[in-house]
């Protein structure tokens, strides 16, 4: 409804002298629920107004949660991290029904940043939230990531606890695909296009061919990788086992460090 949207934009542009913190918060909440992620509104300025004019910690927490979710909608990971850090500090004194949701998104962010040590540190701080689907999803996702199977990770796309998790999921799928591709290069001299397509989760051979067109050679229906300069032949290595182990060992090493 255009009338409601114009009224919303008008309210959140009002100065703190005429708009109450509650009104400003309602404006942020409307932006979170709006399908238009690019409304002509500077939500960071609205948050600043709320922080300067408000002493109610519940409103502050709710406003910060809105900013986290808006940052996700806009794909702004820097703003996401900044607002998550702020809202986590308020959770020490305020209960919120969005707490598990926000903390779950933070776990997704840590997976995307390839920071397993902080991921598990954050997980250890959670108690009642552990049973929430918002938390269980990134935990399951981390387990799938350690297995190094693109298809196993991709299968979780249909189980997102909320569409806001999609931003992180899409980026993680790209990361997993790149890691598997790197392992393929070290584990094989040649590999059939169909086998590579399945391992990397492409829908068509054409997508596979376009993926690393400048790096991979295609001959007679096979991908040809550069042969290793030293060590055993690629054919002597149990390749699929190597790929899974390599990704698993790397994850475990990062966690220990």
Across the range 180-200, mean pLDDT stands at 91
- Cα–Cα distance, 72 to 102 (Å, whole number): 11
Tokens representing residue 188 in the block: 């094989």
Tokens representing residue 122 in the block: 């954050």
Query: Above pLDDT 90, what percent of the chain?
Result: 49
> Where does the pLDDT of residue 248 fall: very low under 50, low under 70, confident under 90, or very high at 90 and above?
low
> What confidence score (pLDDT) does residue 7 get?
46
> What confidence score (pLDDT) does residue 44 get?
80
Give the strands of the sheet with 222-224, arranged side by side: 190-192, 222-224, 217-219
pLDDT higher than threshold 80 for residue 25: yes
Across the range 82-89, mean pLDDT stands at 95
Query: Above pLDDT 70, what percent of the chain?
Result: 79
Residues in contact with 114: Cβ distance below 8 Å, sequence separation at least 6, in sequence order = 175, 254
CB-facing half-sphere around the CA of 128: CA atoms within 13 A: 4
Poorest-confidence range of 112-116, 136-140, 211-215, 218-222?
211-215
What is the pTM assigned to this prediction?
0.77
- Cα–Cα distance, 6 to 151 (Å, whole number): 44
The residue assigned the tokens 């001299």 is 189
Name the residue among 49, 121, 111, 45 with its Cα closest to residue 77.
111
DSSP string, 169-237: HHHHHHHHHHHHHHHHHHH-SEEEHHHHHHHHT-SSHHHHHHHTTTT-EEETTEEEPPPPSSSS-GGGS
Poorest-confidence range of 34-38, 60-64, 163-167, 197-201?
34-38
> What confidence score (pLDDT) does residue 16 get?
45
């Amino acid at each position: 409804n255009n009338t409601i949207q114009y009224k919303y934009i008008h309210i959140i542009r009002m100065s703190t002298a005429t708009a109450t913190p509650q009104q400003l918060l309602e404006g942020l909440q409307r932006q979170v629920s709006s399908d238009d992620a690019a409304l002509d509104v500077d939500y960071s300025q609205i948050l600043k107004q709320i922080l300067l004019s408000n002493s109610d910690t519940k409103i502050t927490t709710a406003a910060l949660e809105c900013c986290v979710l808006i940052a996700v909608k806009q794909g702004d990971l820097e703003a996401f991290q900044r607002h998550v850090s702020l809202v986590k500090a308020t959770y020490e004194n305020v209960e919120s029904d969005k707490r598990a949701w926000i903390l779950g998104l933070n776990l997704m962010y840590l997976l995307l940043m390839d920071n397993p040590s902080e991921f598990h540190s954050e997980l250890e701080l959670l108690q009642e939230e552990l049973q929430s689907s918002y938390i269980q999803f990134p935990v399951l996702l981390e387990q799938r990531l350690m297995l190094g199977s693109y298809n196993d990770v991709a299968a979780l796309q249909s189980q997102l606890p909320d569409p806001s998790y999609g931003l992180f999921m899409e980026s993680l799928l790209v990361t997993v695909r790149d890691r598997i591709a790197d392992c393929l290069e070290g584990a094989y001299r040649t590999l059939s296009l169909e086998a590579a397509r399945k391992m990397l989760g492409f829908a068509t051979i054409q997508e596979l061919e376009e993926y690393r067109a400048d790096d991979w050679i295609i001959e007679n229906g096979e991908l040809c990788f550069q042969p290793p300069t030293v060590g055993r032949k690629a054919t002597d290595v149990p390749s699929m086992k190597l790929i899974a182990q390599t990704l698993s060992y790397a994850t475990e090493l990062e966690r220990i460090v």
